[in-house]
Amino acid sequence: MSEYIEHDRQGVSVGLVEERSFTFAAPPDGMLLEGGGRLGPVTLAYETYGELNTDGTNAVLVCHALSGDAHVAGYHQEDDEKPGWWDIMVGPGKGIDTDRYFVICSNILGSCMGSTGPSSPNPATGKPFGPDFPVVTIGDMVRAQKALVEHLGIRRLLSVIGGSIGGMQVLEWSVRYPEMVASAVPLATTTRHSALAIAFNEVARQAIMADPAWQGGRYYGGPRPDHGLAVARMIGHVTYLSDDSMRHKFGRRLQDREDFSYNFDADFQVESYIRYQGRKFVDRFDANSFLYITKAADYFDLGRSHGGGSITRAFSKAGARFLVVSFTSDWLYPTYQSKEMVRALKRCGLDVSFCEIEARWGHDAFLLPSPRLTELLKGFLSRVRQKIE
């Protein structure tokens, strides 16, 4: 890595970083999937920051949300305008201190940001998988991450940390591989989707599939379903915000005009903003990956998968120390869901801390600057490390 780079008000960056890849599960065996069938070879894109200590006890795995990638911190090139998606939290002296911890972030299975997904070449045909890509689960994503962690020579993770769908991966790690997880930090997440969350995801998926360019998922090499994907992103983005944040940022202010257009232009600032978010998203994401990842999130049910329908029985398999964090304005995964999680963890006699952070920005609050969250993570990781050393 290069020397540290200073950047706007966020202190010191990890500097220039390089994305790498790990390939495993070569045919004919491949990787056995929870939904049946096998997939192989499987490639995961990943990045690491900091140094692994001699006894391998300082590794922290960061899990990303739906549209994230392995680039959690730093810059790929010196002229990059923006750093990684959680650069405010990962770096020297930050909440996840890369002077103390060896941080790993991999792109999830099914994504389109370097890891194997529906846009990847199908070994059988040489063409993109498209709808022939098998449906994957959060459990499959975690099993792939485990293969990467073992490849890096790590037997036990100091912590697994993530928000939203990344938080689902954290929970899955904690019960599927308890011997490998010393601590777990699920942020703004849930043990299973509510009917409301499933409904929003289904509306978003239908927006993609209703686009004539979707072509049943076989659009590679031709026009892409950009309009459907943009609408899907617009729907999703609204769920990441809050009434308070949108009122504060937009209200009913008009966009570059003094009166209504009396047509279907974007009269309001919030209309213009949401349209912009949709347009920007199609430049970097694949519509099929959106379908597969949201379906994996909807299928996720920790109690059903690991506890016969009971999250308490599921968590009885865990042995990690937990820090559970929710945000007051998150209506996608509201605090009551985190409290249910905490009660189940306590019934299992596990070491669990809980904090609801006051934040007006909705579900996305865990991605935004938060001195409270920074200090929580910094203190929690330090205490966990002291207890295991």
Are the beta carbons of 312 and 304 closer than 8 angstroms? Answer: no
Question: And the tokens for 362?
Answer: 């909705």
Catalytic residue among 330, 338, 364, 370: 330
Task: Tell me how far CA of residue 267 lies from CA of 231, 243, 256, 261, 262, in angstroms.
Answer: 18, 19, 8, 7, 9
Those residues with Cβ within 8 angstroms of residue 295's Cβ, 6 or more apart along the chain or in another chain: 135, 201, 205
Catalytic residue among 164, 183, 242, 316: 164
Work out whether strand 159-163 and strand 183-187 pair parallel, antiparallel, or are unpaired. Answer: parallel
Q: Any catalytic annotation for residue 301?
A: no
What's the N-to-C CA distance of the chain in angstroms? 28
1-38: buried (b, 16+ CB within 10 Å) or exposed (e) per residue? eeebbebeeeebbbbbbebeebebbeeeebbebbeeee
The contacts found for 299-308 with CB under 8 angstroms, 24 or more apart, are 299/137, 299/138, 300/137, 300/138, 300/168, 300/172, 300/192, 300/193, 301/191, 301/192, 301/193, 302/168, 302/171, 302/172, 302/175, 302/191, 302/192, 303/191, 303/192, 304/192, 305/139, 306/175, 306/176
Closest by Cα among 104, 184, 169, 113 to 137: 169
Q: Any catalytic annotation for residue 330?
A: yes
Closest by Cα among 181, 168, 164, 99 to 136: 168
Q: Any catalytic annotation for residue 363?
A: yes
User: In Å, how far from its chain's centre is CA 120?
Assistant: 20
Catalytic residue among 106, 363, 364, 370: 363
Task: Tell me how far CA of residue 306 lies from CA of 277, 285, 293, in angstroms.
Answer: 37, 32, 20
Residues with catalytic function: 164, 330, 363
